[in-house]
Structure 1
Amino acid sequence: MSIKTYNVKLNGKVYEVEIEEVKAGSQPTMSATPSQAPKASAPAGAGQAVEAPLQGSMFNILVKEGQAVKKGDVLAVLEAMKMENEIIAPIDGTVSAIHVEKGQNVNLGDTILEIA
């Protein structure tokens, strides 16, 4: 089993959501708490992948490679189930790579972009 952490913005408030991958038939555990404590930044020279928190279509990409971003900035908008979901920066840094295009379909866990 592995646990993935996502930052989700809902009604203007940022939540840190942990999703546990479990085997079929097992009961998953989930928690959502307001994100308050800053996470450690990635080591110098290493980038952090920003992954799709659910399956959907890239509605808009709001950043460009080389752009500086702050933790909590909206990076992209993912449309899923007729709802627009903001993808926010988990750390301060610079967008080092964008792996998707506007209109592209993505699956849960696909890398959208990287922040170094």
Structure 2
Amino acid sequence: SPAAAAAPAPKAAPAPAAAPAPAAPKVAAGAKVVEAPLPGTITKVLVKPGQALKAGETVCMMEAMKMENSITVEFAGTVKSVLVEVGAQVQSGQALVELA
């Protein structure tokens, strides 16, 4: 039998945006990382491997949308590696600093 011409199915509501999985090149799964909150250019790197950090400390500065933004760490830890350098173009969610 021919398919019934039904009313169009309602569009599914978009799922709430989940936090993106860390895009973590060169970082072990489950590692603690500081990620770029938005795309931009790194203008300053303020930490080095082995440096102890407290929650809220600034790890680097980036320019995005013509504004300079401080990128801070949300938890205490020791810098294991710095994954970016001054002048690097970064994407939202990209790992910038890995903590031990």
User: What whole-Å deviation, never above 9, does each CA across 1:76-107 have from its counterpart, x for those lacking one?
Assistant: 00100110110001111100011111011001
Counterpart amino acid of residue 70 in structure 2: E
SS for the counterpart of 2:19 is: strand
The unaligned stretches of length 5 or more in structure 2 are: 1-16, 21-29
State how far apart, in whole Å, the 2-side matches of 1:49 and 1:93 are: 10
- The aligned counterpart of 1:99 is 83
Q: Once the 2 structures are TM-superposed, how far is the Cα of residue 47 of structure 1 from its aligned partner?
A: 3.3
The unaligned stretches of length 5 or more in structure 1 are: 5-45
State how far apart, in whole Å, the 1-side matches of 2:31 and 2:77 are: 9
Q: Tell me if structure 2 keeps the 8 A contact 1:47–1:96.
A: no
- The aligned counterpart of 1:50 is 34
- The aligned counterpart of 2:67 is 83
- The aligned counterpart of 1:2 is 18
Q: Tell me if structure 2 keeps the 8 A contact 1:65–1:97.
A: yes
- The aligned counterpart of 2:96 is 112
CA-based RMSD:
1.3
State how far apart, in whole Å, the 2-side matches of 1:51 and 1:74 are: 12
Sequence identity (%): 43
Counterpart amino acid of residue 69 in structure 1: L
